[in-house]
Chain A
């Protein structure tokens, strides 16, 4: 039994304060292992993004514990959390969040530059990552010159270029048509299998189900169900 790369234990999160305080997560526990693509599904306001933010070390839980590749986030400050993200987590966002003034290669290279990797090596790795997502011919293109699907592939290249153990994706196919969506999911599934990364995708798109090893359902801040290979576990 392999150790989980990312683990949340009994995590709760309150957002807002006073009368406006909302319990966004209520005692959530979730473990992600390497080589698996997990879908986190649930309706709007169910706590998907809050859980993703906590698992991605962008938010700290009100209660409970999070461990990233064996490192606890308890008591970590903003810079400690940034270091954990830098070393272990790659992100893919719904609206890509590419830098419009940078080429595809430079957009990917940013993930290495923030780690202080030397420029020449970083350029080579960035081109490799773009080739991996099928964009070897678009290395010099700027985001405005790329289609939505291509932009999301650049974002995936940026997420994987530093070889993080965990990839967290927030609605990565929401802004894409069916064909591009399937292509993106295929790439993410390959990353999980070939590289042994733990991939967590937040979505409410049922078309992604065939790509998942595991599906976790969340509602009203609680995990309400889980399927593995089409079999309900809970």
Chain B
């Protein structure tokens, strides 16, 4: 084992209480950053979950639509105009909107209705655990997620309720389709969605465009824009980005999450810097001795940087374990924390940068060290 590493390791573990305080500081800081960034990623995925699960090559939407939940409407008759364009295989209307769900007990709760042409499979419920998609074509049939049973005042398949004074019956049950707004999603046929949300029969929120196998996406998109007035045509990736940008940045949610993460980094940096500084100060005699016996400054920097790296590795490992536990604990909530391998790597690098950055004060102190002090102490 390199002696410089041994020295760093022993310096670090020599004062166990201080080392524990350092690790707690790093863990606290990195758990805070992990949770904030995990929420950011989780939120980013939740706000695009419908776009992710829709089967479309292009989305046609009213101009200025900000996100999937935007209730602006377009003329559903534009569907035929879209179908007349070469390369368009299907144009599937989708209707969304808020409505009140009245339970058998008479209590009401808001729901988010999603209606699509179920035969075309534009935007169907996924992760079905009971019932079949086809059964949603029958009168009154809707699909809900089982995590919302209590909220909707129902016990499962076959349960009945009312939306906009019209009866509905649970004909399919999904698992894990949750909304970040905590408002339950209710899937149904597009025509009944219009009735339940009050959207006029000639209107729709989106047209989902599916292309013919040999169609050129850019050409079809420009043709759609030319032929249909006052609409925008976005690819799923573009619509995803727009939805994310709206929810994360226009609402301030993303800024709040980043601010929390930044706070974590600042707290961590200050704690590690303080610890490394006091550790260096305590070992000043030893560093002066090293200088006296002829070590270069770089050699001493290596000792300090190794101390910082060891702190980073130990602190991050514990923070990652806690982060993993938080991921499991929040998996079934409305806003699960999402930690991807990429995020883990980024957080590790951030921890390393934070700890090495924290070593700067200690390094500056050592740079000023005068080896002559070995004769006076």
Taking Cβ atoms with an 8 Å cutoff, the residues of A that contact B are 49, 52-53, 56, 58-59, 78-79, 82-87, 89-91, 93-95, 97, 99-102, 106, 109-111, 113-115, 119, 122, 158, 170
Contact = CB atoms under 8 A, between A and B. Distances in A.
B372 A58 contact: yes
Please give me the 4 A-B residue pairs with the lowest Cβ-Cβ distance, nearest first: A86-B294, A101-B10, A114-B295, A85-B294
Interface string B282-314: 000110011111111101000000000000000
A79 B375 contact: no
B377 to A, nearest CB: 7
A101 B11 contact: yes
B375 A82 contact: no
B4 interface: yes
Nearest to B6: A106
A59 B290 contact: no
Contacts of B10: 99, 101-102
A101 B7 contact: yes
Nearest to A49: B375
B176 to A, nearest CB: 53
Interface in B178-227: none
A97 B289 contact: yes
Given A93-B374, A106-B3, A119-B3, A114 B14 contact: no
B152 to A, nearest CB: 64
A90 B294 CA distance: 9
A49 B377 CA distance: 12
A187 B294 CA distance: 23
A93 B372 CA distance: 11
Interface residues of B, number: 28
B3 A109 contact: yes
Interface centre among B299, B370, B371, B375 (most CB of A within 10 A): B375
Contacts of B292: 56, 58, 85, 91, 93, 97
Contacts of A93: 289, 292, 374-375
Contacts of A52: 375
Nearest to B375: A49
A59 B372 contact: yes
A79 B3 CA distance: 21
Contact of B293 (A49, A91, A122): A91
A223 to B, nearest CB: 19
A82 B296 contact: yes
B2 interface: yes
Contacts of A114: 290, 293-296, 299
Nearest to B4: A113
Nearest to B10: A101
Given A52-B375, A114-B290, 6 more contacts: A58-B370, A101-B14, A110-B293, A111-B293, A113-B4, A113-B299
Given A82-B295, A101-B11, A119 B289 contact: no
A123 to B, nearest CB: 10
23 contacts: A52-B375, A53-B375, A58-B292, A58-B370, A79-B297, A82-B296, A83-B294, A85-B294, A90-B293, A93-B289, A93-B292, A93-B375, A94-B375, A97-B285, A97-B292, A99-B289, A101-B11, A111-B293, A113-B4, A114-B293, A114-B295, A114-B296, A158-B293
Contacts of B374: 91, 93, 97
Given A52-B375, A82-B294, A119 B7 contact: no
A186 B290 CA distance: 26
Contacts of A97: 285-286, 289, 292, 374
A123 B220 CA distance: 74
Contact of A99 (B286, B294, B295, B377): B286
Contacts of B371: 58
A95 B299 contact: no
Given A97-B289, A101-B10, A113 B3 contact: yes
A115 B295 CA distance: 7
Interface centre among A56, A90, A110, A158 (most CB of B within 10 A): A110
A89 B375 contact: no
A85 B293 contact: yes
A78 B290 CA distance: 13
Interface in B1-22: 1-4, 6-7, 10-11, 14
Interface string B118-135: 000000000000000000
Nearest to B285: A97
